[in-house]
Structure 1
């Protein structure tokens, strides 16, 4: 079944070097996302078309809502509480104090309100990145082997399967999630050859299907829960980093993109690289969960 109902169109001409971390915040009825390399957090209200931005103190991979207000931001220096009203950032935890060349890259919240996030080598070479979970006591627990570029995680609708990506390796992995949050039974969910694009951020829809942006692949892909490729949605730009489902019925897909790899000639060929895009689908996404554990 084809779920795409419209073609991707640019809704915010940002030209972001590295747009990332889109998340629909229901209490705000808006899409939040980041531009990692420009140290920016962005908010887009599709109903009013209002666009708002905040400057972060360093590279910022994600901003996820906290129960009761505010956000958890994933900075190069670790987790911080972000208050959108004042624009302030308050440090919370540094999972890798001994790895100054690493940065936080992508994150999500599971059905229990637990924050999951990945780290990566900022030079995109050394295998020093991991998938982490914020523990109830505020500490961070590593839950994966090391990769140079991690992406995800993302959770199945019941929260029992966690997906994460080894971007340079071209693998999307699936793991079983225990009640206490520990992972087991890591297995390859999908393999994407580098010549087809690099799997970037994964997202799961209400049918349990896994979507992934393709960096340098000009598309996003949708896989069945069994790992079968179901659909490929083409974009007018080459680097799609991640999607999020939003809107009144969670059937509007928003996609962040990047242009940091683009030469002047590339930018002439894809002038919308780095923009925020949207398109409509027939299968909705999952309602967002706010962080409530360890905060």
Structure 2
């Protein structure tokens, strides 16, 4: 690891989330401001697009373009035109829900979670979208879902119950179903609230800690391996990028911070980066 996390985009995101390395650029979102952002480390170019609803994530699509998780469901996104076209509605019977975080596994399946937008009711669940079909995973009764993340061998799925302070793992069966869901790590409110998980190429699981001032790396067995301190409280998620996927990027948030707290951490909501000796997994495109 080299140095400390440094702010590389002072955008003051209300709720930065979903960093993903796609085509040599970092894509991420600001959920509450309904924005999609793209950062090019080589040129320094910064671009942003407005979304019609709260946007939880952006991932590449094998047929071209991107799939984004808007509040009401999955949409195709064309950055050239800035247009959004609905693919499938999600949680239509739960208008107070929204989509939050996601990952694509090596088979091209999109795994994502829904959550209660008011962050109170346990109406959230995890879903899998593959080959044009949406399937409930059986993991539900959660107020704020985060993740999932996938192990390098594609056999384990890591999911987070943020308010419950739980990082859990489940086995992905041959048919794409989930089995043997189990607790890996419990977090106390004093440590912070577990936010987005990310898997690295060595099998480690990274967790951003909201109100915890740090990101942590755990083994697949739940052993704490590494801690990285940040100059801001709300670390929402990390992602690996750069030419060799050894740069750790992190999104952060200003949400719920008072004016006094922001004055004490003026970089809250910025995009951060840190060179690190651990390699990340490549980003797979959704095959639907």
TM-score band w.r.t. shorter chain: over 0.9
What's the offset of the Cα at 1:145? Answer: 2.5
Between the two proteins, the alignment pairs up a number of residues equal to: 288
Q: Which of 39, 49, 55 lines up with 1:60 in the alignment?
A: 55
CA distance in 1, matches of 2:242, 2:192: 28
**Mapped pair 1:119 → 2:135:** no
Residues 1:148 and 2:143 aligned together: yes
Q: Is the 8 A contact 1:33 1:43 kept in 2?
A: yes
Task: Please say if 1:94 is aligned against 2:86.
Answer: no
Shift of 1:288: 1.0
Q: Which residue is 1:199 aligned to?
A: 194
Out of 226, 233, 241, the position equivalent to 1:231 is 226
Counterpart Cα distance in 2 of 1:174 and 1:138: 23
| Unpaired runs of at least 5, structure 1 | none
The alpha carbon displacement at 1:192 in A equals 1.1
**Aligned match of 2:259:** 264
Deviations 1:46-89 (A, max 9, x none): 00000000000010000100013211100001110001110000
Whether the aligned pair in 2 keeps the contact of 1:133 and 1:143 (CA below 8 Å) is: no
| Separation in 1, partners of 2:249, 2:284 | 18
Query: Which one of the candidate residues 163, 170, 185 is aligned to 2:165?
Result: 170
Match of 1:23 in 2: 20
Secondary structure at 1:118's aligned position in 2? strand
For residue 44 of structure 1, the aligned residue among 29, 39, 47 is 39
CA drift at 1:143: 3.3
Structure with higher strand content: 2
1:14 aligns with 2:11: yes
Deviation at 1:194, TM superposition (A): 1.3
Instruction: Give the whole-Å Cα distance in 2 for the aligned partners of 1:137 and 1:197.
Output: 37
Equivalent-residue separation in structure 1 for 2:44 and 2:109 (angstroms)? 31
Give the counterpart of 1:134 among 120, 129, 135. 129
SS across alignment from 1:268 = helix
Q: CA deviation at 1:35?
A: 0.1
Q: Hey, what's the Cα distance between the residues in 2 that align with 1:18 and 1:107?
A: 15
Q: Is the 8 A contact 1:18 1:37 kept in 2?
A: yes
Report the alpha carbon displacement of residue 133 of structure 1 after superposing the two structures with TM: 0.3
SS at match of 1:130: strand
RMSD (CA atoms): 0.9
> Which residue is 2:245 aligned to?
250
* 2:282 paired with 1:287: yes
Contact 2:127 2:134 in 1 (8 A): no
Once the two structures are superposed, what CA deviation does each residue of 1:186-236 show, in whole Å capped at 9, x if it has no partner? 100111111110000000111100000000000000011211001110000
Contact kept, 8 Å, 1:16 with 1:258, in 2: the verdict is yes
Secondary structure in 2 aligned to 1:146? strand
* CA deviation string 1:152-181 (max 9, x = no partner): 000000110000000001000000001221
Unaligned ranges ≥5, structure 2: none
Task: Give the 4+ runs in structure 1 shifted more than 2 A.
Answer: 135-143
Q: Distance in 1 between matches of 2:153 and 2:105?
A: 9
